[in-house]
């Protein structure tokens, strides 16, 4: 058998094709992995962090915020933590954020992934502006909802009376006791997690979730009629009505129209 000589040109094309195939394979595996880790939704970030998408772009994973935190709240995600590798996060049930007034973790960030303007009001740092997450109460497993007196989370909250309030209601079962139910106000809750840390149940019945996960969103077509500021949105509104064949008639006519129903 005669062995065919492979020309340089043919070898070049072959090698290019192989390199391209290998590169595509590598890139697919690589991007699948990156996509997987960056998709983990339940990561709590330090105060003043940018939106997750921008945060992942901007964070350079230097750990300055971790070093600055006096309570060792923050850690950088390690392999095995199932979080985007190297990015800072905290687990409130272990160590919550103690909401230092001088917020040491934020100004040290070299990339502005922790954006100091998000916690600055009138040129002064204000940790109460932080939006790390929001506390959520599992009312089925919160013993205060059972009628047992517990206000551990309420007492632990650094902005108690605002971020968490106690709602009194009559205990109909006994007829002479009150339920003292903790209620979270998501406008003021910073998601520090001190409540989650303080919760007395085996697995915390109040816990912090990222705001995008825990909160719903109302479209802008609903107006709070009792809210003057919200009602202002109606001032310059123009509306448009769609006219179709059916809408020429009144709704009542349509209801009374028995034609076709009794013909059977």
Which residues from 110-149 bind other proteins, rule CB under 8 A? 110-112
Which one of residues 44, 48, 64, 150 is an interface residue with other proteins (CB under 8 A)?
64
For residue 81, state whether it binds other proteins (rule: CB under 8 A).
yes
For residue 39, state whether it binds other proteins (rule: CB under 8 A).
no
Helices of type H across 76-203: 152-156, 194-198
For residue 79, state whether it binds other proteins (rule: CB under 8 A).
yes
What is the CB-side half-sphere exposure of residue 126 using CA atoms within 13 A?
Answer: 11
Which one of residues 4, 8, 35, 253 is an interface residue with other proteins (CB under 8 A)?
35
Which one of residues 2, 3, 78, 250 is an interface residue with other proteins (CB under 8 A)?
78
Window contacting other proteins (CB under 8 A); options: 1-9, 107-115, 197-205, 234-242 = 107-115
Provide, rounded to whole angstroms, the least separation between the CB of residue 174 and other proteins. 50
Which one of residues 12, 16, 21, 26 is an interface residue with other proteins (CB under 8 A)?
26
Window contacting other proteins (CB under 8 A); options: 5-13, 82-90, 121-129, 249-257 = 82-90
For residue 54, state whether it binds other proteins (rule: CB under 8 A).
yes
Q: Do 106 and 48 touch, CB atoms closer than 8 A?
A: yes
For residue 8, state whether it binds other proteins (rule: CB under 8 A).
no
| Gap between the Cα atoms of 120 and 107, Å rounded | 11
A 10 A CB-CB count for 178 gives 14
For residue 95, state whether it binds other proteins (rule: CB under 8 A).
no
Question: Both tokens of residue 60?
Answer: 């350079």
For residue 86, state whether it binds other proteins (rule: CB under 8 A).
yes
Q: Which is nearer to other proteins, 113 or 135 (CB)?
A: 113
Q: Do 93 and 189 touch, CB atoms closer than 8 A?
A: no
In DSSP notation, 11-32 reads HHHHHHHHHHHHHHHHHHHHHH
At residue 183's C-alpha, the angle toward residues 146 and 213, to 5°, is: 110
Q: Which is nearer to other proteins, 57 or 224 (CB)?
A: 57
Question: Both tokens of residue 163?
Answer: 């971020």
| Gap between the Cα atoms of 160 and 150, Å rounded | 14
Decide: residue 190, CB within 10 A, 0-12 exposed, 13-18 middle, 19+ buried.
buried
Enumerate binding residues for other proteins (CB under 8 A).
Answer: 19, 22-23, 26-27, 30-31, 33-35, 37-38, 53-54, 56-58, 60-64, 66-67, 75-76, 78-81, 84-86, 110-112
């Amino acid at each position: 058998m005669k062995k065919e000589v492979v020309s340089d040109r043919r070898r070049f094309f072959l090698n290019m094709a192989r390199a391209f195939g290998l590169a595509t394979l590598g890139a697919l595996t690589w991007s699948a992995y990156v996509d997987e880790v960056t998709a983990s939704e339940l990561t709590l970030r330090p105060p003043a962090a940018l939106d997750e998408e921008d945060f992942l772009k901007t964070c350079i994973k230097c750990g300055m915020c971790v070093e600055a935190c006096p309570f060792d709240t923050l850690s950088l995600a390690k392999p095995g933590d199932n979080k985007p590798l190297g990015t800072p996060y905290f687990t409130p049930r272990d160590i919550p954020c103690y909401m230092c007034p001088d917020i040491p973790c934020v100004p040290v960030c070299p990339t502005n992934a922790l954006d100091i303007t998000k916690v600055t009001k009138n040129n002064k740092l204000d940790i109460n502006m932080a939006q790390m997450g929001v506390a959520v109460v599992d009312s089925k497993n919160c013993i205060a909802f059972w009628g047992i007196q517990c206000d551990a989370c309420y007492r632990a909250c650094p902005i108690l009376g605002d971020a968490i309030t106690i709602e009194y209601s009559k205990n109909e079962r006994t007829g002479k006791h009150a339920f003292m139910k903790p209620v979270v106000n998501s406008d003021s809750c910073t998601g520090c997690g001190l409540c989650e840390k303080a919760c007395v149940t085996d697995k915390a019945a109040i816990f912090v979730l990222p705001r995008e996960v825990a909160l719903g969103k109302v479209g802008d077509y609903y107006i709070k009629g009792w809210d003057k500021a919200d009602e202002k949105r109606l001032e310059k509104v123009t509306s448009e009505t769609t006219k179709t064949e059916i809408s020429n008639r009144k709704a009542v006519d349509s209801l009374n129209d028995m034609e076709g129903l009794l013909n059977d």
